[in-house]
Structure 1
């Protein structure tokens, strides 16, 4: 039991090293689908989140969750949206995610809104496992970001814990 707890603490330490990219760290040139998939999965993969596939991205375009690429090339805005979708998709419907992004960016520039969310998430990862000392939200947008980040953190923690305590289960006949 102690070894499992040490293993969890090591995992937590690894998560504290994860930093998601800010807007200025996103590529400033247009990317093709395979480059988009590689970039997004590299950005969020270390959190143990399921990889994004070209089929998923095509589906997001088809259902207008993200803006369609121009001549099959994706831009910074779409990359930012895809990172957010990748983080939030296991928790919320794509309609809810798109609505949330639209609401937050209605009151702030997309670059600033994205960076604010990434700051809250990176800060939460840095202090994973420590008592929360979060600055209280001053706006509903800030509160929404805090709640969404808490939900992401709780999900990756609970999935990791479940993986570590999982025992073989006898099948009922």
Structure 2
């Protein structure tokens, strides 16, 4: 099935840019929003990131303030992680996780660790997808992934409570 091969390809190939490949020139908000669609699989397929959301993340102290109206490489790194975390965690939990991760680390080190863990997770899911899967196989995999996602979400929330 071609759709299975495409999904497997996306999980194998589409990744956020490495730290060194994120532009080291300052970007305006519209450039940041456009760039973010290449950083996060979900943003290219219908999720949205808006300037209001970015401003809210700054207000809630998940994201450092921009220099004037210009955003740096570190802002892209933060937003890349925030866009994923917000799918699983509340804004407050995302803030706790970022604060905890950045206690003994700078944003570059955190972002590199984030990308490595994302690679591992995408690869693990991609390995479960086989091109000759039947509808029943797909249904079983969806069930497994949904239950696993829920279990991991519960574990994330409870473990974050231990960090607070």
Query: Scaled by the length of structure 1, what TM-score is found?
Result: 0.66
Q: Deviations over 1:66-96 (max 9, x none)?
A: 1111111111111111111111111111111
Please identify, of 12-21 and 91-100, the stretch whose mean Cα deviation from structure 2 is larger: 12-21
Q: Does 1:87 align with 2:84?
A: yes
Superposition RMSD in Å = 2.5
Work out which of the residue numbers 83, 97, 101 in structure 2 matches 1:100. 97
In the comparison of the two structures, how many residue pairs are matched?
131
Equivalent of 2:32 in 33, 36, 42: 36
> For 2:57, which of 48, 55, 60 is the aligned residue?
60
Runs of 4+ more than 4 Å apart = none
Contact 2:16–2:80 (CA<8 Å) still a contact in 1? no
Whether 2:67 is the aligned partner of 1:70: answer: yes
Query: Could you tell me how far apart the structure 2 residues matched to 1:43 and 1:49 are?
Result: 14
> Tell me, which stretches of 5 or more residues in structure 2 are unaligned?
129-144, 150-164
TM-score by length of 2: 0.69
Equivalent in the alignment of 1:8 = 4
Q: Take 1:114 and 1:53, find their aligned partners in 2: how far apart are those partners?
A: 22
Structure 1, gaps ≥5 residues long: 132-153, 159-173
- String of CA shifts for 1:135-160, please: whole Å, max 9, x gaps: xxxxxxxxxxxxxxxxxxx57x98xx
Tell me, in whole angstroms, the C-alpha distance in 2 between the residues paired with 1:42 and 1:51: 12
Shift of the 14–79 alpha-carbon distance from structure 1 to 2, 3 Å rule, reads: closer
